[in-house]
Structure 1
Amino acid sequence: MCDVMILDSGIDRRFFNELTHSYEYDPDTHEVRETKHPQDLTGHGSACAHMIRRLATNVRLGSIKILDPNLTGDSKSLEAALELCLSLDVSILHMSFSFRSFHITSRLKELFQRISNQGKWVVASVENGSEMSYPAALPTVIGVNGTLMPESETIWVDQGKPIQVAADMTPVWTHQDFSVYSLFGGNSKAAAVVTGHLARLLLEQNQNQQIDPCCLLAQTAQRFSWLDEELQRSPNLEITQPVYGHTLPINVLNRIKDIVSCYCNTRTGDHHLLLSKNGLSQNQFPNFIRDIASVVGIPANDMQWTFRHFSSFSHFICHIERIYHHESKTYA
């Protein structure tokens, strides 16, 4: 029995050594095969698992690796994974990914419908920065949009929307060895929050899956309706008072912007990967942290950072705000 099957980049058994199932897709044979030595070369799937288990501590996790080291996949790998899940005793399928195209094959629609007919639930994230994407927009899927919220585990539920759930996308700390995903945020994190809540409620209440999953999620939701424009997918970085209700002094914010622009050679208003292999090199990182720490007024050693991934400048500023206002414990 598997409570949550994570379809992603794999789950590293070094950190999750009690996986109920572990499979990986073979692009040469187009088949999914069982593996006794699962790997996660990006850390993305492991970060999803971390977030889910953070909310549902007793959850039984399984993994189907369908994304490559560049976090890309195709319809054939997803079809193979869904076909396998039809034969497995699994409650929830978790997908922190989306299609770049709004076209979805009839074969995939059929497979998602068959999964739903078996009483299995699918949670999928919307593409970052988008209002809607597949498979999250399918009626047989619990779609999740990310937004910035005051608490990292907050969710909103509205069954009447095509994308029924909104959840916090603010980055959280995961295990430092999860490759560059030590800081995990965006819609991938938001979807993992929803799956974690769903698994926890299912286990705590010993529910059978005849109940509607959105009705179950409503038990922990803070809101049940919202306007699409309320979702802060890409907040205005010129505003120094984001949703947390705190402010960075304008001189501090401007100095941080200058430092980021200097090191990353990019405009801070762009929605981009702020610190990555293509942005800030690892040997630059200590100097970067030293300069940021001097602006924030906290010794660099106290920040306890390693070379990590920030999904955008807005996520980076959210983290700096919490450090500045001595709230970094919210990431523990």
Structure 2
Amino acid sequence: MASFQAVAERPSPRTFRLAHASRGAVVESARLPLPCAVTREWAWGEATGAGVRVCLIDSGVDAAHPGFGRPVSALAVAAGPDGDDVQHRIVPDEAGDQAGHGTACAGIIRDLAPGCELTSVRVLGGALQGRGEVLLAALEWAIEQRFALISMSLSTRRTAHKEALHDLVDRAYFAGVTIVASAHNRPVRSYPWHFPSVISVGSHSLPDPERIECNPEPPAEFFARGVTVEVLQPGGGTALLTGNSFATPHITGFCARVLERHPGFGTGQLKHVLAAIANNRI
């Protein structure tokens, strides 16, 4: 069976080596022709993501964590009737987050877009690994539910489910569902972040959670804070973690803000807005 995983790295006291990370390059404004000026005030102003439905596909959440402020709906993928491993079901998540990864990502989304309607679907276990069939079931369900945003801080290097995964992210694109996907922490080819129908995210090392960088050399299209990020952890605590996994929910939060102000925007428009307001444009 094909597997997938999310990788979170604890920061080294001396250095870190994170693939798909910002090198501080700038992007010339001439590369992004605009019909009018696009500023952060225009993009989201005082928006908090109110009313925007966001689905986080990850390791689940500690739904009782006080840091969330507002409730987070916690669901999981379960086998179908009689243990059928093909007909999966989406059920209430009774096990919760055994890894801390999903709680961390959910906390970042809720911190940047406190008004969003956040739903967690658990597909990863305590070792941050899972099965391809489970991921596909969760993603298909989220697309059918027409979430505005799907945040995925995970990927697979296996090719067994590549075609089905590609079909699903394309279906999401044409359905007006935007997928924000994490680039792998290592310099390898994995999916779905390599697909152009998603918003792909790597990391910058600056401490500003509001900083966005547009990458002049994709496939990782945008960089957000992903180094030594203070994140929520199950049980009510916090931790300092590093990885593209934690840059991704920053971009998801920004997109939720934009969609509150501009609810008709799809993936293409969101990419354009993020590039227009990037801090490394000259």
Under a length normalisation based on structure 2, what TM-score does the superposition of the two structures give? 0.70
Provide, for residues 259-312 of structure 1, a one-character-per-residue CA deviation record: whole Å limited to 9, x for no partner: xxxxxxxxxxxxxxxxxxxxxxxxxxxxxxxxxxxxxxxxxxxxxxxxxxxxxx
Between Structure 1 and Structure 2, whose CA radius of gyration is higher?
1
Gaps in structure 2 of 5+ consecutive residues: 1-50
Q: Secondary structure at the match of 2:64?
A: coil
In structure 1, which of residues 6, 9, 29 is the aligned counterpart of residue 84 of structure 2? 29
Q: Distance in 2 between matches of 1:177 and 1:38?
A: 12
Structure 1 residue 185 corresponds to structure 2 residue 246:
no
Equivalent in the alignment of 2:222: 165
Which residue is 1:66 aligned to? Answer: 123
Is 2:256 the counterpart of 1:209? no
Equivalent-residue separation in structure 2 for 1:2 and 1:12 (angstroms): 21
Matched with 2:173 is 116
Tell me which protein shows more helix as a share of its residues: 1
Alignment of 1:13 with 2:63, yes or no, is yes
| 1:302-329 deviations in Å (ceiling 9; x for gaps) | xxxxxxxxxxxxxxxxxxxxxxxxxxxx
Indicate conservation of the 8 Å contact 1:124/1:135, yes or no.
yes
Q: Do residues 105 (structure 1) and 158 (structure 2) align? A: no
Matched pairs, number = 223
1:147 Cα deviation from its structure 2 partner: 3.0
* Structure 1 residues 136 and 178, CA gap change in structure 2 (3 angstroms): farther
Contact 1:5–1:63, Cα closer than 8 Å, also in 2: yes
8 Å Cα contact 2:54/2:148 also seen in 1: yes
- Counterpart check, 1:3 vs 2:59: no
Residue 10 of structure 1, CA deviation: 0.6
Runs of 5+ in structure 1 lacking a partner?
226-332
4+ residue runs over 3 A deviation: 27-30, 100-104, 175-181
Structure ranking higher on relative contact order (CA contacts 8 Å, 6+ apart): 2
Give matches, 1:132-151, under 5 Å.
132-151=189-208
Matched, 1:94 2:146: no
| Matched residue type, 2:71 | E
2:61–2:234 contact (8 Å) kept in structure 1: no
Shift of 1:40: 0.9
- Shift of the 217–194 alpha-carbon distance from structure 1 to 2, 3 Å rule, reads same
| Cα deviation, residue 175, structure 1 | 3.3
CA distances 1:5-40 after superposition (whole Å, capped 9, x unpaired): 000001221024623x43212255331322064611
1:80 maps to which residue?
137
- Report 1:216-295 matches (<5 A): 216-224=273-281
> What is the CA RMSD across the aligned residues, in angstroms?
2.6
Task: Rate the CA distance shift 1:36–1:148 in 2: closer, same or farther, 3 A.
Answer: closer
